[in-house]
Amino acid sequence: MFESFGVINIWTYIAGLIFIILAPGPNSLYVLKTGASYGIATGYRAVAGVLLGDAILILLSYLGVASLVQASPILFTAMRYLGAAYLLYLGVSLIYSNWVAPKVKTSSPKIKTEKVFRKSLSLSLTNPKALLFYVSFFIQFVDYSYHSTWISYSILATILEVFSLIYLSVLIVLGSAMTQYFHRNKSLAKLGNSLLGVFFMGFAARLSILN
């Protein structure tokens, strides 16, 4: 079926995709944290940012921007450190807001949700390795003898986005279920947010060190 649209080894692609999506990363952790902190509706704001970021990266990989980044060590390094700096900022901010900064109640949930969307989108777009991954992964399942490879990319991208949406939805529900428990256990909530901050800092270190 999919071979007629230039997509090959579809079941191998789906199997690999499941393992990749289930691997913990800053995007999924941020969605889990958002669901736990603000509930389901705001959690889907974070999911929208992740899905849009993935779609943009897939489009850029199709247009050849990933090859340009890979061919330019300076550009790749700059993007890598930009992504690491943003992850470090998120990690430090989480720890600071939980243990140092005074608590200020926010009266405008609209501002909060807009910030969640921007943060999740930024997390997706500031990871150059994700851009290069989409090239190295997608290229294995596209038949380049097919006359319209953009259709092949679109099919692969749609499958990825659907699987991501399902997985992230599960994280939102789990996070939302934790909300009431965290409200009753402020110390545990602070510890959880701080642990998430440490994870973000660890991802930042990993991104800045790995080539």
d(CA 12, CA 17): 8
Residues in the chain: 211
Burial class of 203 by CB neighbour count within 10 A (0 to 12, 13 to 18, 19+): buried
Is residue 171 within 8 Å of residue 35, measured between CB atoms? yes
Is 0.75 surpassed by the pTM of this model? no
Report the pLDDT value the prediction gives residue 109, as an integer from 0 to 100.
44
Q: Which residues span the domain enclosing 53?
A: 2-209
Report the pLDDT value the prediction gives residue 29, as an integer from 0 to 100.
82
Show pLDDT as tens, one digit a residue, over the chain (211 residues). Answer: 788 888 888 898 888 888 778 777 788 888 888 887 788 888 899 999 999 998 988 888 788 765 666 667 776 677 667 767 766 776 777 677 666 655 544 444 443 555 889 888 988 887 766 776 776 677 778 887 888 888 888 999 999 999 999 999 998 988 777 666 555 555 655 666 667 677 767 767 766 775 5
d(CA 27, CA 123): 6
Residue 163, C-beta contacts closer than 8 angstroms, at least 6 positions apart: 14, 17, 18, 21
Report the pLDDT value the prediction gives residue 52, as an integer from 0 to 100.
94
Burial class of 159 by CB neighbour count within 10 A (0 to 12, 13 to 18, 19+): middle
Q: Which two tokens stand for residue 56?
A: 């943009």
Q: Can you give the chain as a three-state secondary structure string?
A: CHHHHCECCHHHHHHHHHHHHHCCCHHHHHHHHHHHHHCHHHHHHHHHHHHHHHHHHHHHHHHCHHHHHHHCHHHHHHHHHHHHHHHHHHHHHHHHHHHCCCCCCCCCHHHHHHHHHHHHHHHHHCCHHHHHHHHHHHHHHECCCCCCHHHHHHHHHHHHHHHHHHHHHHHHHHHHHHHHHHHHCHHHHHHHHHHHHHHHHHHHHHHHHCC
Is residue 20 within 8 Å of residue 136, measured between CB atoms? no
d(CA 59, CA 62): 5
d(CA 172, CA 177): 8
What is the tally of structural domains in the chain?
1
